[in-house]
Amino acid sequence: MADFDGKRGLVLGVANKRSIAWAIAKRLADGGASLAFTYQGERIEAGVRELAGTVDSPLVTECDVRSDDDVARVVAEVGEAFGGELDLLVHSVAFAAAEDLAGRFTDTPRERFWMALDVSAYSLVAVARAAEPLLAAAGGGSILTMTYLGGERAVPHYNVMGVAKAALDSSVQYLAWDLGQKNIRVNAISAGPVRTLAARSIAGFPTMEAIVEERAPLRRHISADDVGAAAAFLLSDDARNVTGTTLYVDSGYHAMGM
C-alpha cells in the first residue's frame, strides 16, 4: 500500500459509501493521509459527514463548484485546516440532467449542455486554479479526476456527459502543462461501469455492464476498490513522473475494437 503518511488531501465528490471518491479517500486515509471533504446539498450532508468522521477528517464543508466564490472559500478553509499547504486533490464531480441521459444527444438543450460542461469539466479547472498556491507551497502535489470512455467514443445514452468528459480529458492535459513547472501533476482514471449513485441515472446501465463482462479481455467487472487502488498509485510519489495521463481501469475494455 502506498505511503501517504503526513499527506494532506481534499476530496470532492463523495456521495455515499459506494462512491468511487469514497473508495479513493479510504485508500488514502488507510495510507496515513489527512483528508478534507466537500459535499453538495443537504440531502447527502449527513452521510458525507458520517463517512468523513470514520477517517478523522478535520474539515467537511459544502461546495457549489459552479461558483468561483464558493470554490475560493472552500480552498481557503482547506488552507486553514492544513497550515497553508495541500498535497493531494481528488476531483470526482460530474452532473447532467437525467432526461439528457435517456434520449438523443441531439435534443440536449443549450442551457443543460453548458450546465453539464460547467459541473463536469470546468469545475476541475476552477478547483485546480484555486488550489494551485496550496499545492505549490507544499513543494508540489497531485491532482486526480475521474473520466470515462464515453468521452472518446459514442456510448448510447451517455450523451452530453460524454461531451463533458471529452472536455475534461483535454483539460487534464492542459492543466498538466500549466502546473508541471510547479511540480503539480494532473492525471485521470477512466473507470469501467461501477454501480454508483451517478450510474443509476444512465439509461441502459445494466446493458453497459453486460457488454463489458462479455467483451473485456478480463471478462469481469471492476469495483470502486479497484479504482481506489489505481488512484493510490497516481496520487503517490511512486508516480512522480506521471502527469497528463489517463489510466484505464476497465478490465481492458477500452482496448477492444468491438
**Whole-number Å distance between alpha carbons of 129 and 72:** 9
Residue type, 190: S
φ/ψ (deg, to 5) at 210: -65, -40
**Whole-number Å distance between alpha carbons of 133 and 157:** 39
CA-CA-CA-CA torsion for 243, 244, 250, 253, nearest 10 degrees? -130
pLDDT of residue 196: 61
**Whole-number Å distance between alpha carbons of 92 and 73:** 19
Q: Which domains does the chain have, with CATH numbers?
A: 8-253 (3.40.50.720)
**Whole-number Å distance between alpha carbons of 123 and 40:** 13
**Whole-number Å distance between alpha carbons of 120 and 164:** 6
Query: What's the predicted TM-score (pTM) here?
Result: 0.94
217: exposed, middle or buried (Cβ count in 10 Å: 0-12, 13-18, 19+): exposed
Confidence of residue 258 (pLDDT cuts 50, 70, 90): confident
- Whether the per-residue pLDDT at 1 is higher than 80: the answer is no
**In this predicted structure, which of 7-16, 68-77, 206-215, 241-250 has the lowest mean pLDDT?**
206-215
pLDDT of residue 72: 98
> Is residue 20 classed as helix, strand or coil in its secondary structure?
helix
- Whether the per-residue pLDDT at 202 is higher than 70: the answer is no
pLDDT of residue 34: 98
**Whole-number Å distance between alpha carbons of 76 and 143:** 17
Indicate the pairing of strand 34-39 with strand 59-62: parallel
**Whole-number Å distance between alpha carbons of 170 and 165:** 9
* Residues labelled as active-site residues: 148, 158
- Whether the per-residue pLDDT at 246 is higher than 70: the answer is yes
- Whether the per-residue pLDDT at 201 is higher than 60: the answer is no
Residue with cell 472552500: 74
Residue with cell 474539515: 59
pLDDT of residue 76: 98
- Whether the per-residue pLDDT at 200 is higher than 70: the answer is no
pLDDT of residue 206: 75
